[in-house]
């Protein structure tokens, strides 16, 4: 396609990217929450949106099926970022990657004693690197969602998950015991598109950069 394809996921990333798109003069003609369409036209006939699963956005951009995309740093770290130019922290969808344990579990003591911790998470790479850097031995258990359930059922001692307000942890009698990283969403750009479509892409990237809160 000669025009520009932008990969976005439904929900918070779509909602929080809308003002940035508006700053670049781009308005979606449909709302992906109510439409079943996966390709959404915009007010510009040379720009379209593709609605992808959050974890799939880097893949679409890496292979050039989308020219640019918006993706959480968490997803980007797990993906590895191969073939992606990452020019901008958009400072949207902000949250924190944390280690959490059941209220009352003595995490410091378990770590001090060199216990082998069972850790459930969707973020295997992030968790592996975090605990390796601390010299803590862990058995990682891959989950795809509802990590909070793991310690409550005995599947794991701890979880590595995203936390924003902490209310989900609280509702499940968990407490955050360690901060791993601050997370926000990044703009990702296909490296070939950056060269081949520079004329069309540059004004969009510039508008995004100007619209990001400093």
Pairing of strands 39-41, 84-89: unpaired
**DSSP code of residue 122:** S
Provide, rounded to whole angstroms, the least separation between the CB of residue 73 and ligand ATP: 6
Among 22, 116, 164, 196, binds ligand ATP (CB under 6 A): 164
Helix, strand, coil shares of the chain, percent, nearest 5, are: 35, 30, 35
- Rounded CA gap, 157 and 139, in Å? 10
Is 167 a binder of ligand ATP (CB under 6 A)? Answer: no
Structure tokens at 8: 């976005």
Site string for ligand ATP, 136-155 (x = CB under 6 A): ---------x----------
- Rounded CA gap, 31 and 196, in Å? 30
- Within 51-70, the residues that bind ligand ATP by CB under 6 A are 54-55
Pick 4 or 90: Cβ nearer ligand ATP: 90
- Rounded CA gap, 74 and 59, in Å? 14
SS3 185: strand
Among 1, 3, 11, 196, binds ligand ATP (CB under 6 A): 11
| Residue facing ligand ATP at closest CB distance | 72
- Rounded CA gap, 123 and 129, in Å? 10
Provide, rounded to whole angstroms, the least separation between the CB of residue 34 and ligand ATP: 17
Is 193 a binder of ligand ATP (CB under 6 A)? Answer: no
- Within 111-130, the residues that bind ligand ATP by CB under 6 A are none
Using CB under 6 A as the criterion, which residues of the chain lie in contact with ligand ATP when the complex forms? 9, 11-13, 54-55, 72, 74-75, 93-95, 145, 162, 164, 183, 185
């Amino acid at each position: 396609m000669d025009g520009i394809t932008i990969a976005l996921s439904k929900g918070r990333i779509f909602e929080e990217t809308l003002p940035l798109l508006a700053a670049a003069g781009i308005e979606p003609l449909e709302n992906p929450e109510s439409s079943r369409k996966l390709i959404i036209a915009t007010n510009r006939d040379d720009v379209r949106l593709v609605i992808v699963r959050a974890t799939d956005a880097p893949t679409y951009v890496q292979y050039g099926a989308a020219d640019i995309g918006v993706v959480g740093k968490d997803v980007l770290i797990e993906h590895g970022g191969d073939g992606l130019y990452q020019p901008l922290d958009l400072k949207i969808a902000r949250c924190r990657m944390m280690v959490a344990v059941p209220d009352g579990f003595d995490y410091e003591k378990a770590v001090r004693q060199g216990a082998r911790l069972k850790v459930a998470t969707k973020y295997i790479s992030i968790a592996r690197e975090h605990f390796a850097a601390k010299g803590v031995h862990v058995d990682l258990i891959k989950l795809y969602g509802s990590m909070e359930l793991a310690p409550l059922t005995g599947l794991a001692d701890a979880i590595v998950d995203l936390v924003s307000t902490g209310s989900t942890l609280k509702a499940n009698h968990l407490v955050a015991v360690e901060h791993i990283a601050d997370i926000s969403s990044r703009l990702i750009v296909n490296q070939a598109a950056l060269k081949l479509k520079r004329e069309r892409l540059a004004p969009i990237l510039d508008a995004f950069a100007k619209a990001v809160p400093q």
